Structure 1
Amino acid sequence: MFMTHRKKWLAGLAIVGIMSFASLSFRDAAPPKPHKPQNLKVLPKDIDHMALIKIMHDFCDALDFKCGDCHAKSTTKPGDLDFASDANPHKDVARNMMRMVKKINGKHFKVKGSFAENFVNNKYEVTCYSCHHGSEHPAKEAPAVKK
């Protein structure tokens, strides 16, 4: 009985020692830095990373898009996207749509300020989804009414 109690005590001591060593060895490691966005023309250059991701995901949902539908493929890293590139023409269309959403909300709903801040905080009455409803192209006519 004494041996099992001693083994448990030594095992516990070993675990505490390993955890203490691990915490000391990782204390000086710097946290990973989020990628700083480049080539922003409508969104603010100092946009919060989480706000940028929320806006991009909302665009994807509103148009049933994936990231690669607006962002060009990387020429240096196969399988990756080059988020800064303007090679994909859909990216400019998206920028123009952001400008349009901001203009409509400013003129007709008196919403002032940054596109990003208003979009993230749900201050816009008209958004991408208002027209697109999860489709790449807005409907040109209302759906037929079922009788």
Structure 2
Amino acid sequence: MELKKKLFPFFSTVGILIVVLGLYAFKSDSATTERYVAQTRWENLKVLPQNISKDSLDYLMKNYALSLGVKCTHCHVPSKTDPTKLDFASDEKIEKEIARGMVKMTNDLNALYFQPHFPEPKPKQVHVVNCVMCHRGAVNPEKYLSQMGEMYKTYDPNRDNRKEMFLEQQKKQ
């Protein structure tokens, strides 16, 4: 009888502790719901859709950086107000405009040559051609494509040189 009197408070305390911990485990994480911020309108997206999520945009940008073997500063300039951050909306670097042209090119190639051949129901967007296909981790894929002259008679060694022209103009100013 005395043993029951001594064990009852112990088991009661353990039981209450289990119930409290069990209820706490099902408590909603208010910190997660409080951190949600509605998507704001992006500044200066000209090729990518305005309704792209932050996660999707981050994924694309990381993919571009990996495909070309560069960091974010390749296309983006430091912020004028806080040099430790990047000004993603700025168009100061020609590389950003070149990237837009490349995104349009890959989208067009996929839409014209691959998407029509997909079975029904056709996806809205097809990703067969992408940056890494040519760049292979190099900003200028010329190293990998240097044999183009032998493969195609229409190859023009005087390739698109907008970047070089832009840099020459800046030197003159």
Same fold, TM exceeding 0.5? Answer: yes
Determine the structure 2 residue equivalent to 1:47. Answer: 52
Determine the structure 2 residue equivalent to 1:145. Answer: none
Matches within 5 A, 1:11-90: 11-16=17-22, 19=24, 23=27, 26=30, 29-33=33-37, 35-36=39-40, 37-90=42-95
TM (normalized to structure 1)? 0.66
> Could you tell me how far apart the structure 1 residues matched to 2:46 and 2:107 are?
14
Q: Which has the higher contact order (CA 8 A, sep 6+)?
A: 1
> Could you tell me how far apart the structure 2 residues matched to 1:105 and 1:7 are?
66
Residue number among 102, 113, 117 corresponding to 1:97 in the alignment: 102
AA at the equivalent of 1:98: V
> Could you tell me how far apart the structure 1 residues matched to 2:44 and 2:12 are?
63
CA deviation after TM superposition for structure 1 residue 132, in Å:
0.9
How many residues are treated as equivalent by the alignment? 131
The worse-fitting range, judged by mean Cα deviation, of 48-57 and 62-71 is: 48-57
> Could you tell me how far apart the structure 2 residues matched to 1:69 and 1:26 are?
39
8 Å Cα contact 2:77/2:93 also seen in 1: yes
Q: SS at the partner of 1:134?
A: coil
In structure 1, the gaps of 5 or more residues are 143-147
| Greater Rg by CA | 2
Identity %: 27
Q: CA RMSD in A?
A: 3.3
Q: 1:25 to 1:61 in 2, by over 3 A?
A: closer
Residue number among 112, 115, 134 corresponding to 1:131 in the alignment: 134
CA deviation after TM superposition for structure 1 residue 105, in Å:
4.3
CA deviation after TM superposition for structure 1 residue 137, in Å:
0.7
